[in-house]
Copies of this chain bind each other. A is one copy, B any other.
Amino acid sequence: MTDHVSGKTLQRAELARRTGCNLETIRYYEKTGMMPDPPRTASGYRVYDEAHVSRLRFILRARELGFSIYGIRGLLDLVDGGTQTCAEVKERTERHLADVRAKIADLKRIEKVLAGTAAQCSGEEVPECPVLEALAS
């Protein structure tokens, strides 16, 4: 662990700490090909640099925005593919945006039902609970 190749190098735990990513998740992203296989020390320890930090942040940010692994991989392919075809990125983003909006609509429908039935509850110990009735009917 005394490799000082060029610039700052990080171990896995440091990368995790700096990105807020779970330690094991880093290995998972590597296994799934989203993160590149990092160089290793003679004893096999992974060595990361600032490029890895950026890459991981990109992935985490996309995750935060609800992109699936599959979707992120697509985005990364575009990034890695040299020519970044903005139109394609835009299209994917908008498709994802449509998904997000559909999910919001779904949840709002659910919210309405839940709020409506809960509001009917007296809170008393009555034999008929409006929520359970709503679910059963």
Contacts and interface: CB of A to CB of B under 8 A. Distances in A.
A107 B114 contact: no
Contacts of A40: none
Interface-central residue, A111, A125, A126, A131, by most chain B CB under 10 Å: A131
Interface in A36-62: 54, 57-58, 61-62
A84 B127 contact: yes
Interface residues of A, number: 49
Contacts of A130: 86
Contacts of A131: 86, 89-90, 93
Count identical subunits in the complex. Answer: 2
Given A107-B100, A108-B104, A114 B135 contact: no
Contacts of A123: 86-87, 90
A132 interface: yes
A23 interface: no
Contact of A86 (B79, B93, B126): B126
Nearest to A134: B61
Contacts of A58: 135-136
Given A78-B129, A86-B125, A90-B129, 4 more contacts: A86-B122, A90-B123, A104-B104, A107-B107
